[in-house]
Amino acid sequence: MTERQKDRPWLMRTYAGHSTAEASNELYRRNLAKGQTGLSVAFDLPTQTGYDPDHILARGEVGRVGVPVSHLGDMRRLFQDIPLDQMNTSMTINATAMWLLALYEVVAEEQGADISKLSGTTQNDIVKEYLSRGTHVFPPGPSLRLTTDMITYTVAHIPKWNPINICSYHLQEAGATPVQEIAYAMSTAIAVLDAVRDSGQVPPEKFGDVVARISFFVNAGVRFIEEMCKMRAFGRIWDKITRERYGIENEKQRRFRYGVQVNSLGLTEAQPENNVQRIVLEMLAVTLSKDARARAVQLPAWNEALGLPRPWDQQWSLRIQQVLAHESDLLEYEDIFAGSHVIEAKVDALVTDCLAEIERIQEMGGAMAAVESGYLKSQLVSAHAERRARIEAGEEKIVGVNCFEGTEPNPLTADLDTAIMTVDPANEARVVQALHDWRDNRDETRAQESLSVLKKTAAGDGNLFAATLECARAGVTTGEWAWALRDVFGEFRAPTGVSSAPLAVAAEEGSPLAAVREKVAKTAAELGSGKLRLLVGKPGLDGHSNGAEQIAVRARDAGFEVIYQGIRLTPEQIVSAAVAEDVHCVGLSILSGSHAELVPDVLARLRRTGVGTTPGPDGPPIPVIVGGIIPSADATALREAGVAAVFTPKDFGITEIIGRIVDEIRIANRLDPLEVPA
């Protein structure tokens, strides 16, 4: 090997935040002391979706999947004793990205930092929220305006900041193929860059600075050769688009800049120790090739399919990165795939297919039009359904799930209650009280005046960032900022993609789906109803709808009439729909950890209607089933509370789940068991 300087490692991050700003600050400082080189902030769902902790939809969600940040005081406490002008901070925030960056900037000013020196990233990709992650608030047009205003502000005032992370990560989590992942992300980037260009806020000679600050957040699955080729294709297509569509001549400004969290979709609850080698292989996909190497990497923990990882689990994932970067010889070589005809052929094929799909989306009117029409969502739901069907058929192997299922007792999960971290249920009340104290002690006149200016600016065409900064300084809360904009922009309910998804699983005679169809038809006939009706509900703020959508699609294909109204519903709305639609079963999907709060509420409300989970005067009970990331102790408690069945990630057979749902309907209606195989 020719002697050459060893390359610098990528930024090493851990996606972290929970409970309170104080607890998260302590965690961040510990992680930095362990050798982490950047911060990646996880915000809780109320913060992400623009609700204060005391809002009805925030119940059970506060501090669960991230840190609650309700106002400047929380942000100040979150970064106490962490000098922001020396830190590279990534913030996973989208609909409320402008608000969180404004809070971050004000805290940096209070620390005495030079704002122009701040470096980091706000995710700020609203398109993938409509498609996969579900933390959108505003309609596409106003959302694109918020993104545009933020990009133009940061390019002028915080030039080292990446104001948007075009985020294909969640597209893969929603089932996207590599071609869909690249094509949809690039179509989003085109929509954003076109909007910035057409806003007139950036002179043409400065547009290269905008392109240079566009970053991407990418997923990497276990098929690491294909994933590495995907990254090379990403870079090639980005170079072509920025050069040909936007005329960027500076090669440095055209560079494809991306960070990565490797795949969580493929992490399993069964034999979770296997997740460690999956994570390592997935990391190799974005580090092996120097010409397509990630700028920043954060890895999930081995136990994420079980619940919230503990600090030790996150440390293990950080150490995986450190061993590769500091013990191996990876960073001593030029690109090791240069000249490989196998790699080049795969990359060429990906580029060709992606450009064709990008062109198809442009012909529809671009990414925003393809969101509003439901095209992108239905394509993702279909792709995910096809993947699940391959797994169930055994065509796609997952060790410990559909092959090599035998296992020795696992010492890592011998005590499941201590194998994950739990959030103190009393935490929410403390956060709510702190919010009320903040409101009581602020300058109320200044807060209301700043909100009035924000609404006037939103009703016009001025840049919203200055008004947002004043709201931050005036002590406005996250919910107040978002509601001011809701009053002007309205809210948006994205298409579910369920009704237009084609059949993914064969139902010929003798197949498992055919057997379940027979059970459905016989049960409907015995009950004297035209069809069995299943309500699929997502209570609370959890927007990860992939599982709910797959249940809805398979139930539809099995002969159910499915009522699925999308995400972000209160228990009251779910129960009202169940009664109005006269359903035979209610299925609740929750991945955020709020099941202990929200599911009992649904059960209690159903019972009060007289058609609940115990026989009532108006007819038989409605069985309630629950699916999600639910620890075993919680699953036991839910069943004791009246839930008919609990499904977790280990229950990967969707057709089998639909058969179980029919069984629970028969039990609830006192029908004899059917001898039809499921």
pLDDT at 678 (0 to 100): 43
Task: Read off the tokens for 392.
Answer: 């169930």
For residue 150, what pLDDT is reported? 97
Which of 71, 128, 136, 170 is catalytic? The answer is: 170
Global pTM value: 0.89
Tokens encoding 327:
């013990």
Residue 613 pLDDT exceeds 80: no
Q: How far is CA 97 from CA 185, 522, 591, 651, 669, in A?
A: 18, 51, 23, 35, 49
Mean pLDDT of 172-195: 94
User: Which stretch, 34-38, 385-389, 566-570, has highest mean pLDDT?
Assistant: 34-38
Options 54, 542, 557, 663, the catalytic residue? 542
- With bands split at pLDDT 50, 70 and 90, how would you rate the model's confidence at 615? low
Residue 558 in this model has a pLDDT that exceeds 70:
yes
Instruction: Write out the two tokens for 169.
Output: 């990560």
Per-residue DSSP letter, 308: B
Q: pLDDT digit string (tens) for 161-176?
A: 999 999 998 888 888 9
Rounded to an integer, what distance in angstroms lies between the CA atom of residue 291 and that of residue 334?
A: 8
Share of the chain above pLDDT 70, in %: 95
Under 8 Å between Cβ of 482 and 514: no
Q: How far is CA 441 from CA 238, 444, 449, 471, in A?
A: 49, 8, 16, 15
State the pLDDT at residue 566.
81
Q: Report residue 38 as tokens.
A: 């950047």
Residue from 18, 538, 584, 595 carrying the catalytic annotation: 538
* Tens digit of each residue's pLDDT (9 = 90 or more) over 654-678: 999 999 999 999 999 999 988 655 4
Measured CA to CA, the distance from residue 477 to residue 633 in angstroms comes to 36
pLDDT of res. 418: 79
- What local confidence, expressed as pLDDT, does residue 509 receive? 77
Active site annotation includes 538: yes
CA distance 659 to 662: 5
Please work out, in degrees rounded to the nearest 5, the angle formed at the alpha carbon of residue 242 by the alpha carbons of 175 and 239: 70
What pLDDT does 547 receive? 85
87 with 38: CB under 8 angstroms?
yes
Lowest mean pLDDT among 303-307, 323-327, 600-604: 303-307
Active site residue 335: no
For residue 616, pLDDT over 70 is answered with no
Q: With H, G, I as helix, E, B as strand and everything else as coil, classify residue 10.
A: coil
pLDDT reading at 628 higher than 60:
yes
Residues 6+ apart with CB under 8 A from 367: 127, 184, 187, 188, 190, 191, 361, 376
Distance CA 116, CA 199 (A): 23
End-to-end CA distance of the chain: 60
Q: Is residue 259 within 8 Å of residue 165, measured between CB atoms?
A: yes
Query: Which listed residue (15, 130, 153, 184) is catalytic?
Result: 15
**Catalytic annotation, pick one of 71, 136, 230, 544:** 544
In the predicted model, is pLDDT for residue 417 greater than 80? no
Q: Output the pLDDT for position 282.
A: 95
- Of the two residues 423 and 533, the one the predictor is more confident about is 533
Catalytic residue among 104, 169, 184, 258: 169
Q: What is the reported pLDDT for 477? A: 98
CA torsion, points 272, 387, 674, 514, in degrees to nearest 10?
-160
Is the pLDDT assigned to residue 83 strictly greater than 70?
A: yes
The verdict on whether 169 is a catalytic residue reads yes
pLDDT band at 621 (very low <50, low <70, confident <90, very high): confident
Three-class DSSP labels, 344-395: HHHHHHHHHHHHHHHHHHHHCCCHHHHHHCCHHHHHHHHHHHHHHHHHHHCC
- With cut-offs at 50, 70 and 90, classify the pLDDT of residue 614: low
Asked whether the predicted pLDDT for residue 416 surpasses 80, the reply is: no
In the chain, the amino acid numbered 191 is A
103 pLDDT above the threshold of 60: yes
The mean pLDDT value of the chain amounts to 91
DSSP assignments along 112-161, one per residue: T--GGG-EEEE----HHIIIII----S-HHHHHHHHHHHHHHHHHH-TTE
Nearest Cα residue to 482 out of 142, 145, 99 = 99
When pLDDT is averaged across residues 389-403 and rounded to a whole number, the result is 91
Can you tell me the mean pLDDT for 20-34?
95
Indicate whether 601 pLDDT > 90: yes
Average pLDDT over residues 235-264: 95
Q: How confident is the model at residue 503 (pLDDT cuts 50, 70, 90)?
A: low
**pLDDT band, very low/low/confident/very high, at 70 (cuts 50, 70, 90):** very high
Q: 258 pLDDT band (50/70/90 cuts)? A: very high
Position 1 scores a pLDDT of 42
Could you tell me the two tokens for 291?
A: 């010409």
Q: Is 544 one of the catalytic residues?
A: yes
To the nearest whole percent, how much of the chain has pLDDT over 90? 75
Q: Which domains does the chain have, with CATH numbers?
A: 11-403 (3.20.20.240), 425-489 (no CATH), 512-669 (3.40.50.280)
d(CA 353, CA 438): 53
